[in-house]
Amino acid sequence: MLRISNAPTVVSQVFAGAAVGWYALPFGTAIPLGPLVLVVVGVLMSYLAGMILNDVCDARVDAAERPERPIPSGRVSLLIARFVGGFMLLIGVSMLAVASPATLPWAILLGACILAYDMLHTLSAGSFVLMASCRGLVPVIAALAISSNPEWSVLAWTGGAAFAFIAAVSIAARNEMTGFGSIARAAAWSLPFAACAPLGMWSALDIDPRGALLSSAAVGAAVLAAYLVVVGIRTASRRGSPRSVPMAVAMWIGAIPAIDAATCFLLGSPTLGVLCLGLLVVSRALRPRFAGS
């Protein structure tokens, strides 16, 4: 119900945003751990709450189409799920709001996008914009928690890349249980380019990664992300397997920490970059045990 195998990917996006905020601070300044912890926990709470509320809003549809889901099967009470999900979202957004004076409006916007997506995703094909906005807002909140005056061009690249990647995944996965159509295929083939967005940012903004080692690490992480995405596309293209597209979606989402690692390395944050790669390993280890969709 919590889609917990994808949870590490939202934490890596926090680290990418923190690297953006830290990049704007004077060289040698330590990343403030208090705001970073608040954002990590707040984003995790908000993500898990969104997953619970997603099942709450889908309870009637799931009763007809997927009766084995926790709520329609009776394993989880609808009332309890509604209360727990709402309470967790309130706590998560509150933690994000108090991380820094600059994060308050963005935290409220994230909470609103989560609720709007959960309520509208079965009603409108355009709801993928809300899902993508949720992901794009995570690095923005993290960056503002670290520095109230980040370099907005860098933040626009990072948040925009997160938005574009999830938007493409959402379009490609729109009818994941019925096949891999031409629109989904076109969206999927945009993913390798979105995965290399940190390298585009490097070129467009003339960023100094502070050393050849970090430059190489950034390129390697971006190439790894693109490779994982292409493997996912090949998996989705298999015919005769009803689970091929859901498996591909899990691979695409699982590539997010590698993209975030590339961003961290480029911005001179090797520790955060290594943590992102560690989260990629954790996500892959959780995937066989906990479904991501």
**Residue 8: how many CA atoms within 13 Å on its side-chain side?**
24
- C-alpha to C-alpha distance for 123 and 126, rounded to whole angstroms: 9
Owner of token pair 């295929």: 185
Taking 70 as the threshold, does the pLDDT of residue 179 lie above it?
no
Taking 60 as the threshold, does the pLDDT of residue 178 lie above it?
no
**Spatial contact of 48 and 2, defined as CB atoms under 8 Å apart:** yes
- C-alpha to C-alpha distance for 47 and 36, rounded to whole angstroms: 16
- C-alpha to C-alpha distance for 157 and 262, rounded to whole angstroms: 13
> What pLDDT was estimated at residue 144?
97
Q: Using alpha carbons only, how large is the chain's radius of gyration in Å?
A: 18
> What pLDDT was estimated at residue 247?
85
- DSSP at 29: P
φ/ψ of 174, rounded to 5, equals -55, -45
Taking 90 as the threshold, does the pLDDT of residue 16 lie above it?
yes
- C-alpha to C-alpha distance for 73 and 59, rounded to whole angstroms: 10
> What pLDDT was estimated at residue 192?
93
**Spatial contact of 62 and 81, defined as CB atoms under 8 Å apart:** no
**Spatial contact of 102 and 148, defined as CB atoms under 8 Å apart:** yes
The arithmetic mean of pLDDT across residues 112-117, rounded, is 96
What are the pLDDT digits (tens) for 184-193? 888 889 999 9
- C-alpha to C-alpha distance for 291 and 7, rounded to whole angstroms: 11
Taking 90 as the threshold, does the pLDDT of residue 2 lie above it?
no
> What pLDDT was estimated at residue 123?
81
> What pLDDT was estimated at residue 19?
96
What are the pLDDT digits (tens) for 52-90? 999 998 888 888 878 888 888 889 999 999 999 999 999
- C-alpha to C-alpha distance for 183 and 163, rounded to whole angstroms: 18
> What pLDDT was estimated at residue 248?
87
Mean of per-residue pLDDT scores for the chain:
91
The ranges assigned to domains in the chain are 4-286
The arithmetic mean of pLDDT across residues 215-224, rounded, is 95
- C-alpha to C-alpha distance for 184 and 169, rounded to whole angstroms: 9
The arithmetic mean of pLDDT across residues 95-116, rounded, is 96
List all residues 6 or more positions away from 140 whose beta carbon is below 8 Å from its beta carbon.
Answer: 17, 106, 155, 159
3-state secondary structure of 189: coil
Which of 39-53, 120-134, 231-245: highest mean pLDDT? Answer: 39-53
Confidence of residue 22 (pLDDT cuts 50, 70, 90): very high
Q: What is the biggest distance separating any 2 CA atoms in the chain, rounded to whole angstroms?
A: 57
Record: fold of 4-286: Tetracycline Repressor; domain 2 (1.10.357)
**Spatial contact of 258 and 276, defined as CB atoms under 8 Å apart:** yes
What is the CA 90 to chain-centroid distance, rounded? 20
What is the CA 136 to chain-centroid distance, rounded? 8
Taking 60 as the threshold, does the pLDDT of residue 177 lie above it?
no
**Spatial contact of 81 and 31, defined as CB atoms under 8 Å apart:** no
